Chains A and B, each alone.
Chain A
Amino acid sequence: MVNRPLEGSYLTGDEAPEALLEAWRPMVLAAALRLLPRSGPVEPEDVASQVIIDLLRVLRSEKTISHPSSYIQKMVMHRVLAETRRVRRQQGGGLSIDSQRNVLFEELPDPRAPVPGTGMERRELALKVYETVERLADNRRQVVKLHLRGLSREEIEPLLGFSEAKVRNLLYRGLEDLRELLVKEGIGDATLG
């Protein structure tokens, strides 16, 4: 038997979905690793394989793809979410406190540790900050929340459909409101933030 590579049938120029999608595997796998419990029965690598398989099916059914980069990325994002959610459901629900705590090797502070100057444990303070943020007015609240989650103003603008000036203004006003509300709760002082 002659061992002859079958690239002619597997990899046919621009229509080689396997080759195209394999470039996505590391990203898909990284996302699966972030989204699945560490010790579940389904391996993140299996999830990554499944995402690739699904995408292969879709790509083969498409005659033309006008913007392959954008199109495939959206498909990858969608399938990663759908598959990891499906696996989590099969494994019995959402993230455990433990898996949240261990996410990305980030060590969270001890929730029971007293916070100097507040008379509160850290978890109480955290909950108070969370609840206070949620009381902010519409628009200011969403901008402040995305900011506190680590998004830059440049990222927030398109997500909320606001101009740069509007985001800047809402953020400034929102943080000011937050500061005042927290002070009323006995947290921080006029220099907060």
Chain B
Amino acid sequence: MRLSDEELGRLYGEGAGGAAAPAGDCPDPEAMVRWMEAEAGEAEQLRIADHVSSCPQCWREVEALRALRTATGRGRVVRPSWWRSGAGRTVAAAAAVVLLAAGGVGLWLELRPPRFPTGSDALRSSARPLRPLAPPREVNEAPASFRWEPVEGAAAYRFTLRASDLFEVLHREETATPEVRLPDAVAARLQSGATYFWEVRALRKEGEAVRSEVLSFRIR
């Protein structure tokens, strides 16, 4: 029997999935990013390499971060010669499918940074950001309504208001018009000195998002 490097690689990955957890703790996010950027010391780079390549969960994160770096043009993924078909192509194709499904061709075109747009650049670009009309970034009291310019191709909008604390959703609703009136009960919960985040996801008829933006305002 003859096993190619590609087959050995597949077997190794499958074996890691079925084996007991590898020695050592999974690196925390800081350590993982330092490792990806080759910024830890030599011993640490080796230790983390040893762990993440044996750990299915860590390796999945490594692959996700590699794809992210590649999409931004900073990472350079040069596959070894044996990585020609099968897994390699499946991963690359699947990543492209996921990205396209996530945002459509317009957003795919945005995957050509890293050239960070200035505000005016962003407004000129074809996939321009959603334009908020109200409220402004600083307000004196809880805003009564949220409005934005209609987005081309949108059949509905999903509005979400969040507190600055992670996943706490204060209000969410879908609307056919580019405006949401904030219920009094929700407005009463907003406090002075706090910053709140609102997101508008413009949806096609099929529910697919065409634009999605996060905006914020602060109550003085």
**A residues in contact (CB < 8 Å) with B:** 3-7, 9-14, 16, 18-31, 33-35, 42, 45-46, 49-50, 52-53, 56-57, 68-70, 72-74, 76-82, 84-85, 94-95, 97, 100, 103-106, 108-109, 111, 115-118, 122-123, 125-131, 133-134, 138-139, 141-142, 145-155, 158-161, 175, 178, 182, 187-189, 191-193
Contacts and interface: CB of A to CB of B under 8 A. Distances in A.
B131 interface: yes
A20 B72 CA distance: 13
Given A104-B90, A146-B49, A7 B123 contact: yes
B136 A6 contact: yes
A23 B113 contact: yes
Interface of B: 1-5, 8-19, 29-30, 32-33, 35-38, 42, 45-46, 49-50, 53-54, 56-57, 59-65, 67-69, 71-72, 74, 76-80, 83, 87-88, 90-91, 94-95, 97-99, 102-103, 107-108, 110-111, 113-114, 116-123, 129, 131-134, 136-138, 147, 149, 160, 162, 164, 166-167, 195, 197, 199, 201, 209, 212-216
B29 A82 contact: yes
Contacts of B35: 159
Given A46-B167, A161-B38, A175-B5, A94 B57 contact: yes
Residue among B56, B60, B138, B214 with the highest chain A CB neighbour number at 10 A: B214
A111 B53 contact: no
Nearest to B37: A74
A155 B78 contact: yes
Given A77-B68, A129-B15, A161-B45, A69 B116 contact: yes
Given A105-B90, A191-B2, A19 B65 contact: no
Nearest to B81: A152
Q: In terms of DSSP, what is the predominant structure of the interface of chain A? A: helix
A161 B38 CA distance: 8
Q: In terms of DSSP, what is the predominant structure of the interface of chain B? A: helix
**Which 3 residue pairs across A and B have the least CB separation, nearest first?**
A130-B15, A11-B119, A19-B122
Given A18-B214, A161-B42, A146 B122 contact: no
A142 B50 contact: yes
B162 A53 contact: yes
